[in-house]
Structure 1
Amino acid sequence: MRKIIFICMVAATLFACKSASSTASTSTEATTLSTKLDRPTQVAIKGNWVLTNVTYPGSDYIKVNSFDLADSKCFIGSSWNFISNNNKGTMTLNSASCTAFTSPIVWSINNQGLFVLKIVNPGTKSKNVKEGYLLKVAGLTDTSFQLIDNINVGGQVKDVTYQFQRAN
């Protein structure tokens, strides 16, 4: 009887638990993080948002290629949808002076307060996307929040802040 209980406990552990870590890469390094999620923060972010501003030191002189997609300024005015119950959504770049772009995304906020973002390319299943971006979540209110990325400028790490406002 003990053997059966032990086997059932091992089987339940193997099939009921997710992997203890997942990998997401930022623009500078791959980082292993816990897959435990910060559900209250995810629920607070769910919905439709507009990225209203991108700021970083030296923005008058330095161009930042955000998420390996486009110049950071092309993200101003972009629309983002975050669905918290399945960690999916969409992002749409719609700046008149930039190339239009729409993509599904997979996202979560881990228990360390890091926003994990994966951009899903056409024809790719989200479960097959192995690389992504880690950003800090800051200033979360009912109507706004920031995502903060790190970039390397001349050997120094600088913050790039993406300001979001809740869409009506």
Structure 2
Amino acid sequence: MKKTIMLAVLAALIFSCGTPKTVQESRKVIKGYWSLDEITYSESGTFNIQLLSDTSKECFENSNWRFIPNNNTGTYEITNGNCPTGTRYFIFDIQEMDPTTGLYDFLLKPTDEKKKSADGKGFRLRLAKLNNNSMQWEQTVSLEGQPFTIYMNFSKLAE
């Protein structure tokens, strides 16, 4: 009887420490090909911002993204001929919901083709919206000492 109770407690502990169901479902939904259609800001005006330590808003808009959740990797391709075109690689992680905002943390770390990071930098974004057709990321940075939010709006192309 004691062994049965101990096994039940151990099993409950193991299952409770796993990835939350909502995060698992998010990984299923994010899988596939996406287009980064539009980038907007919380403030009006013209801003010269380099996103993800890579390139400008104009270069990122209409870029093509692929998410492979079984190994938490992906790629994005800049296709605008006026920009530094080509495929970029990253690893990502969807983390548990932040109870204060109700949003999920989304971590993205640029890498090379072999999944190695050149500088160890990564980016913490908020996964504000995710469904079978669209996704929105939010990144809050500081502009002149005030919070400034960048909104990145994606649409799903295919799985």
Fold conserved between structures, TM > 0.5 = yes
- CA–CA distance in 1 between the matches of 2:119 and 2:54? 16
**Is the 8 Å Cα contact of residues 91 and 102 (structure 1) preserved in structure 2?**
yes
- CA–CA distance in 1 between the matches of 2:126 and 2:115? 26
* Fraction of identical pairs, as percent: 27
Residue by residue over 1:49-82, the C-alpha shift from the partner in whole angstroms, topping out at 9 and shown as x without a partner, is 0000000034532111101111122100101000
Distance 1:43 1:158, change over 3 A: same
Q: Root-mean-square deviation (CA), in Å?
A: 2.4
Task: Pick the aligned partner of 1:71 from 56, 59, 62.
Answer: 56
- Give the TM-score, by structure 1 length: 0.71
- CA–CA distance in 1 between the matches of 2:153 and 2:133? 11
Structure with the higher fraction of residues in strand conformation: 2
- CA–CA distance in 1 between the matches of 2:140 and 2:96? 19
Structure 1: which 4+ aligned runs deviate by more than 4 Å?
none
Match of 1:161?
A: 151
**Is the 8 Å Cα contact of residues 106 and 126 (structure 1) preserved in structure 2?**
no
- CA–CA distance in 2 between the matches of 1:76 and 1:42? 23
Aligned length: 134
- CA–CA distance in 2 between the matches of 1:125 and 1:84? 14
Residue by residue over 1:100-136, the C-alpha shift from the partner in whole angstroms, topping out at 9 and shown as x without a partner, is 03112111101131111011135x5437873210100
- CA–CA distance in 1 between the matches of 2:66 and 2:115? 18
**Is the 8 Å Cα contact of residues 109 and 117 (structure 2) preserved in structure 1?**
no
SS in 2 for 1:39: helix
Match of 1:84?
A: 69
Q: Which runs of 5+ in 2 are unaligned?
A: 1-18, 98-103
Match of 2:41?
A: 56
Distance 1:129 1:43, change over 3 A: farther
